[in-house]
Amino acid sequence: MSVPIVYYLILSAFMFIVGVAGVLTRRNAIVVFMSVELMLNSANLTLITFSSFMGNPVGQLFVFFVMTVAAAEAAVGLAIIIALFRNKQTVNIDEINILKW
């Protein structure tokens, strides 16, 4: 007896909403960044779910690609945050608002 597909999807939707909420509400750039990762992983979970339930391995293969890209993106993102911190002595994104009129 297996877990129904709806459970997986509800979990992944919940994870995604948590991610979105984190991105929109938190002020610490690292936390925002982690929330973005959470959104990515919720998408990965959906992919694996459908792959497993439909017996098609392509979805799982895609997850590997997403993880690779996410790792690269994490490296770049963290590097940007470090560079920002060196310039502004802060990672509070409320204070990083120079890109305006």
From 3, 6, 89, 94, residue interacting with another protein (rule: CB under 8 A): 94
Choice between 70 and 93, CB closer to another protein: 93
> Do 50 and 16 touch, CB atoms closer than 8 A?
no
Label residue 63 exposed, middle or buried (CB < 10 Å: 0-12, 13-18, 19+). middle
Among the listed residues 23, 31, 48, 74, the single contact to another protein using CB under 8 A: 23
**Which range in 49-57, 61-69, 74-82, 88-96 contacts another protein by CB under 8 A?**
88-96
Q: Are the C-beta atoms of 91 and 30 separated by less than 8 Å?
A: yes
Residue 20 binds another protein (CB under 8 A): yes
96 belongs to the binding site for another protein (CB under 8 A) = yes
User: Please, what sign has the CA dihedral across residues 14, 17, 23, 27?
Assistant: negative
Tokens, residue 67: 């993880």
Nearer to another protein, 60 or 96 (CB): 96
Amino acid letter, residue 22: G
Q: How far is the CB of 3 from another protein (least distance, A)?
A: 26
